[in-house]
């Protein structure tokens, strides 16, 4: 499925199973009671979290998914969540949106919160080369100022100090 966001066609993966990286690293998230799933799409990762006893807070701004998987646009509680998933969305955000999302993640998360980010080279995005993926990853971590605890070229897990 393809949706438009920021005038860019966004490929909606819409798989039925949680991403392999989340499944592989679920043990790191079992201490979380509430996790924000930003860009949740069809809710596959949120369902997986719920199956493992973690309360997901799913959020997606693209209008092509049902209300069931949408959360409030403005979450008023500071320090409420202890985990965040950002699966395949950062490469479609503008510079201003990256700054905003990093600020909101810092506002909404508790100390010690854990974050999982998955990135991809996508032809019709801001990361159409692997070099741009690496630059985006570094830029986002500079904005967040969290400690990376696990990483590879396209994915990482970080912890808030």
pLDDT in tens, 104-151: 899 999 999 999 999 999 887 888 999 999 999 999 999 999 999 999
Mean per-residue pLDDT, 70-86? 74
Q: Where are the beta strands (DSSP E) in 54-108?
A: 55-59, 81-87
Domains of the chain listed by start with CATH number: 2-159 (3.40.50.150)
Other Cβ atoms within 10 Å of 51 Cβ, number: 10
**Is 80 exceeded by the pLDDT of residue 50?**
yes
Rounded-to-integer distance, Cα 86 and Cα 36, Å:
9
Rounded-to-integer distance, Cα 58 and Cα 75, Å:
12
Q: How would residue 71 be classed by pLDDT, with cut points 50, 70 and 90? A: very low
What pairing do the DSSP bridges indicate for beta strands 55-59 and 34-38? parallel
């Amino acid at each position: 499925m393809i949706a438009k966001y920021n005038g860019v066609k966004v490929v909606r993966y819409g798989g039925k199973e949680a991403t392999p990286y989340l499944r592989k690293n679920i043990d790191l998230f079992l201490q979380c009671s509430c996790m924000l799933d930003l860009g949740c799409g069809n809710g596959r990762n949120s369902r997986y979290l719920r199956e493992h006893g973690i309360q997901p807070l799913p959020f997606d701004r693209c209008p092509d998914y049902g209300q069931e998987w949408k959360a409030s646009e403005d979450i008023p509680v500071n320090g409420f969540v202890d985990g965040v998933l950002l699966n395949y969305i950062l490469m479609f955000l503008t510079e201003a949106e990256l700054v905003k999302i990093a600020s909101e993640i810092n506002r909404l998360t508790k100390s010690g919160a854990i974050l999982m980010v998955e990135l991809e080279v996508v032809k019709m995005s801001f990361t159409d080369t692997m070099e741009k993926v690496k630059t985006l990853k570094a830029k986002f971590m500079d904005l967040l100022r969290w400690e990376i605890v696990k990483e590879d070229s396209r994915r990482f897990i970080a912890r808030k100090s």
